[in-house]
Homo-oligomer: A and B are copies of this chain.
Amino acid sequence: MHLAPPPPNLDEQGVERGLQQLRALTQEKGLKNSAVREAVARAALSRSGHFSVEDLASDLRHGGPKKPHSATVYRVLPILVEAGLVQETLVTRGEGTFYERTFEREHHDHLICTSCGSVVEFHSEAIETLQSELAKSFGFRLTSHVHELLGLCGDCDS
A residues lining the B interface (CB < 8 Å): 1, 3, 91-92, 111, 113-114, 120, 122, 124, 126-127, 130-131, 133-135, 137-154, 157
Residues of B within 8 A of A139 (CB): 153-154, 157
Determine if B140 and A149 form an interchain contact, defined as CB atoms under 8 angstroms apart: yes
* A124-B130, A140-B154 known; A145-B149 Cβ under 8 A: yes
Residues of B within 8 A of A130 (CB): 1, 124, 126-127, 130
Determine if A145 and B150 form an interchain contact, defined as CB atoms under 8 angstroms apart: yes
Q: For the complex, what is the distance from the CA of A48 to the CA of B54, rounded to whole Å?
A: 39
Q: For the complex, what is the distance from the CA of A142 to the CA of B154, rounded to whole Å?
A: 11
* A124-B130, A141-B157 known; A135-B147 Cβ under 8 A: no
Closest Cβ neighbor of A131 among chain B residues: B149
Residues of B within 8 A of A92 (CB): 91, 146
**Minimum distance in angstroms from A157 CB to a CB of chain B:** 5
Q: For the complex, what is the distance from the CA of A148 to the CA of B142, rounded to whole Å?
A: 11
Determine if B152 and A143 form an interchain contact, defined as CB atoms under 8 angstroms apart: yes
Q: For the complex, what is the distance from the CA of A152 to the CA of B74, rounded to whole Å?
A: 26
Q: For the complex, what is the distance from the CA of A153 to the CA of B3, rounded to whole Å?
A: 32
**Minimum distance in angstroms from A105 CB to a CB of chain B:** 19
Q: For the complex, what is the distance from the CA of A117 to the CA of B106, rounded to whole Å?
A: 28
Determine if B151 and A134 form an interchain contact, defined as CB atoms under 8 angstroms apart: no
**Minimum distance in angstroms from A39 CB to a CB of chain B:** 26
